[in-house]
């Protein structure tokens, strides 16, 4: 006699048979869900290995002092500063989207670094590198981007970051000096008047800089520190950070952070220049510091 619909729903043998048939499908669905959850939580593992997530990690990879999984090597390890490991890292530590860095130049840089391992290592406390920090500050009620140049300074038994220089575009016009025509000046016999004619030098604020020496260079950091002490300068946020390196003899490179999909991401070399003469370093530094 055939089973009724109610009997099929309640009969334990039928239920057991259905569960047995559905078991492979349930396991497949569970496996797919678990894998999706794992990928969602961990992301692409190989991408994590390829990315230099911190500046200190860039140092270690450049020097060959960690493996691709981020495990550090120490001087007692065989792989410590290994030339083959360094060569592998040097191939992935550049911003590949920057067509301005010539492949031939990158190859020459890598060969120079690998052929002089004793003098081509980055040293965190070795000087000849600094940070360029673009900050959003409020000066006299007006928000503006002001660049702070930071460097490491020895402090007792350790080191600390300090502000070496600063640049604010809004301050440039205040110190502009028109050299195309004769401006305000003090007569060469002013000393006979006990320099009482200094009154006219301070009478007009827009021309006061004309009375300074031709070699005068405005120090934006002094102005900003003064404004901060007066309560006229307020910190808002940091907009971007990049680093400038002169540690590798004969070379300059810039380090920037790239937050994007794919493997070529994190802290990467974004600019590379071969220094051809003894004055090239000074020229690049003055350009970076906005010094005329």
pLDDT (tens, 9 = 90+) of the chain, 292 residues, equals: 554 544 445 555 555 555 555 554 454 444 344 333 433 443 455 665 678 889 999 999 999 999 988 899 999 999 999 999 999 999 999 999 998 999 999 999 999 999 998 889 999 999 999 999 999 999 999 999 999 999 999 999 899 999 999 999 988 888 776 655 556 788 889 888 898 988 888 887 777 778 888 778 889 999 999 999 999 999 999 999 999 999 999 999 999 999 988 889 999 999 999 999 989 999 999 999 998 7
Boundary (domain end) residue, out of 216, 241, 273:
216
Instruction: Please check whether residue 162 lies inside any domain of the structure.
Output: no
Closest CA relative to residue 80, chosen from 60, 97, 98, 65:
65
Say which DSSP state 2 is in: P
Instruction: Please check whether residue 198 lies inside any domain of the structure.
Output: yes
CA dist 5 and 11 (Å) reads 10
CA dist 26 and 31 (Å) reads 9
Rg (CA), the chain: 32
Instruction: Please check whether residue 15 lies inside any domain of the structure.
Output: yes
Identify the three-state secondary structure at position 73: coil
Closest CA relative to residue 55, chosen from 135, 152, 142, 138:
152
**Residue 11 pLDDT:** 55
Instruction: Please check whether residue 271 lies inside any domain of the structure.
Output: no
Instruction: Please check whether residue 245 lies inside any domain of the structure.
Output: no
Identify the three-state secondary structure at position 102: coil
CA dist 29 and 32 (Å) reads 5
CA dist 282 and 99 (Å) reads 26
Beta carbons within 8 Å of 207's beta carbon, 6+ residues apart: 183, 184
Inter-residue contact 132 to 149 (CB < 8 Å): yes
Query: How many helices and strands, by DSSP H and E, does the chain display?
Result: 9, 6
Q: What is the span of the domain harbouring residue 36?
A: 5-43
**Residue 45 pLDDT:** 58
Task: Specify the number of domains making up the chain.
Answer: 2
Instruction: Please check whether residue 57 lies inside any domain of the structure.
Output: no
Beta carbons within 8 Å of 14's beta carbon, 6+ residues apart: 3, 8
CA dist 134 and 130 (Å) reads 13
Instruction: Please check whether residue 24 lies inside any domain of the structure.
Output: yes
What percentage of the chain's residues is helix, strand, coil (to nearest 5)? 40, 25, 35
State the pTM of this model.
0.79
Instruction: Please check whether residue 156 lies inside any domain of the structure.
Output: no
């Amino acid at each position: 006699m055939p089973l009724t619909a109610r009997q099929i729903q309640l009969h334990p043998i039928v239920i057991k048979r259905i569960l047995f048939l559905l078991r492979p499908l349930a396991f497949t669905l569970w496996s797919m869900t678990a894998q999706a959850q794992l990928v969602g939580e961990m992301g692409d593992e190989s991408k994590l290995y390829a990315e230099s997530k911190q500046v200190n990690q860039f140092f270690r990879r450049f020097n060959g002092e960690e493996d691709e999984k981020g495990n550090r090597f120490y001087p007692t390890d065989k792989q410590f500063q290994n030339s083959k490991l360094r060569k592998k890292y040097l191939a992935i530590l550049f911003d590949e989207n920057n067509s301005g860095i010539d492949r031939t130049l990158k190859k020459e840089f890598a060969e120079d670094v690998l052929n002089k391992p004793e003098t081509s290592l980055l040293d965190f406390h070795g000087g000849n590198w600094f940070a360029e920090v673009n900050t959003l500050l409020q000066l006299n009620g007006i928000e503006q981007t002001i660049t702070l140049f930071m460097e490491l300074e020895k402090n007792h038994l350790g080191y600390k970051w300090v502000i070496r220089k600063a640049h604010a575009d809004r301050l440039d016009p205040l110190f502009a000096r028109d050299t195309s025509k004769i401006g305000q000046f003090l007569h060469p016999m002013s000393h006979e008047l006990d320099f009482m004619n200094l009154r006219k030098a301070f009478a007009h604020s827009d021309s006061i800089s004309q009375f300074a020496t031709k070699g005068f260079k405005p120090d934006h950091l002094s102005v900003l520190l003064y404004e901060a002490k007066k309560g006229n300068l307020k910190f808002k946020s940091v907009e971007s950070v990049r680093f400038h390196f002169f540690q590798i003899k004969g070379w300059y490179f810039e380090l920037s952070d790239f937050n994007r999909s794919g493997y070529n991401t994190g802290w990467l070399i974004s600019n590379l220049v071969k220094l051809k003469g003894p004055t090239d370093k000074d020229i690049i530094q003055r350009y970076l510091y906005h010094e005329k």
